[in-house]
Structure 1
């Protein structure tokens, strides 16, 4: 999101200004700081207004639900050989909204794919309610043994 991009540019400003950003191993990381500095204060202000609207909507959801439970990622774990720059482009609406709104979340194991790759189950709670996410995940683990299982490695 624009907010994350602008805030990351602010956080990495000394690295950007010194030119040491070019030493990062990630090619996108080498240029993204410069790009993220190009957003205007008006763009950032508008994005903050949108975030506030989303935060209020999420607050309303958590008036009815203690925790949201969903797959940790919209895709199962990927093989180590996957090109991370091209292979991990997928929508993650719950993760994006959670990051933008500052919602506590955690993931625990809940199974394996037919290729023996791990699958995670995510627990997301309302802003400031870290304990609810932790308690829900702990309860899940008390009733399952996925966190004790390990895939067969060939």
Structure 2
């Protein structure tokens, strides 16, 4: 599977990508929001101009009465602010809606991650509500609030 956005290409993480992704997820600007994954199986590498710049993953609920998907993404700090995050999320969201048949997508950034929240808003995600003490900060052990955001298929920008 390879998905093409306006700027990025999403493809399965290959063996040679793991070391790059490990470095990215340990960058202070990324580590503030992401703990290092146990493995990268099932993730898609985010490639920009031939360079792996991050990863994105999705999880699907396949029960027909609750069919939906969730998205998580991280990018190297040196590529923040270039529209790559929005392009990544939009590209994966379009595939999840058009090819996988989901009518609703969710994303759940930390409530104080204003940069991510703004990025997801550009794709059409809307705040649903605060999830109190939603995730533990892997660096401090402190529970942090999360913001649940969702996007209905007909709202995809």
TM range (shorter): under 0.3
Return the structure number with greater strand share: 2
The structure number with the bigger radius of gyration is 1
Return the structure number with greater helix share: 1
